[in-house]
Chains A and B, each alone.
Chain A
Amino acid sequence: MTPILEYKNLKKYFTVGHRGLLRREPITVKAVDGVSFVINKGEVFGLVGESGSGKSTVAYTTIGMYRPTSGAIEFQGESLFTKEGKRPRHIKKEIQIVFQDPGSSLNPRRSVKEILELPLSIHQPAKKHIGRVAELLEMVELPVDYMYKYPHALSGGEKQIVAIARALATEPSFIILDEPTSALDVSIQGKIINLLLRLRQEFHLSYLFITHDLSLMRNVASRVAIMYLGKICEVAEASEFFRNPKHPYTQMLLSSIPVVSEEEEKLKPKRVQSRGEIPSPVNIPSGCSFHLRCPYKMDICPRVDPEMVDTGEGHYVRCHLYPVQENSRPVAV
């Protein structure tokens, strides 16, 4: 497996105000606070978390909307953030994004043709693009005459398909999918997901798939990471993850999912009942940030932030219930 994207201790802090006598002490939100993981070529890497956990900040930093406070992201060994500031165009072309709400990510005044032409005219200037637009529409199984339609004439699902076509326009190798189906009805979700999985095979794409729907994650991701208050608490292969969740937060998430069959009910961890809410990222609890909601809280938890531990078979967990072995070092996932 060759890595396509590497996150190295990525941090993104936002200053949201000032306090103190002279209003000079910044109030910071630690949206992403030291995240390290690797996405391999051809993989669908799932990122799960509640609102405010920092999963979208990871996505937006990757696409270049934010510069990290510290840490790095490397795309095939090349740093995404250089001193000069601007990201080279050949990297921009490789990394694309599909946003959650296609209603607001498509310009209502532009036809589908104009929407799909924009990325083409930036990356392949001085060329006629109409043929390529038709090709893109065929790739996503939309009738070619849709290029003359405007977003308001499309259904929610069709709009999202246009947004996917736009992401494909520059022939990227990596696409970020930020909750691509959560604004759509469940009967349309399947179509979009299967289209995305087929495109991945056909064009050898890798995905960073962000969702809060764990049932959906089970069916699309090869590996899954759970985020809580800007940090990753657990990473594992998708099947292992759902069979043997280790972090108490993961267990809480899994036991909260409403399911539709008895068979699935049996897969849910019974012991952990959801309680409490995600604290404000301005005041992150000391030690392990989950200790306020954790049913297994120990004396050490409010004092010391646990480190990521390798529990074998690519399953990593950051919790004091799984202590660091004497001879092992902290690991990068």
Chain B
Amino acid sequence: MDNLVVEATKSSPYISFDAGKGLLEIKGKSYPENAAKFYSPVFDWLNEYLDTVTDQAIQVNLEIIYFNSSSSKVFLNLFDMLDRAVKNGKKITIDWRYHTENDTARECGEEFMEELEAVKFNLVEIHEE
């Protein structure tokens, strides 16, 4: 399966989904004009990937500095999808990465965490070098 790579723009994050490694990363800011449209290739890719993957451990890293309301709804949908996949036997860990001084990102991570039942969700603090 092809990897999915989307370069970052001013208002949208860097996306790198690597099927071989089972590593899915979204990094940066997320306030695209049309969040549903922007993330639709991500969901298409993920649907296909989750259909094909068997016992590979999947690592999802999210490092979102700032996101708008539409994006947070998209993330809820994404987590919902991953949660269901875990209930169906997939091995998935989500790391919600935030910088030490970014209280808002941490609080949002906590908020997302409450929503999840099956998938492992870690809050990972990134210290500035």
Q: Do A and B come from one complex?
A: no
Binding site for A on B (CB under 8 A): none
Binding site for B on A (CB under 8 A): none
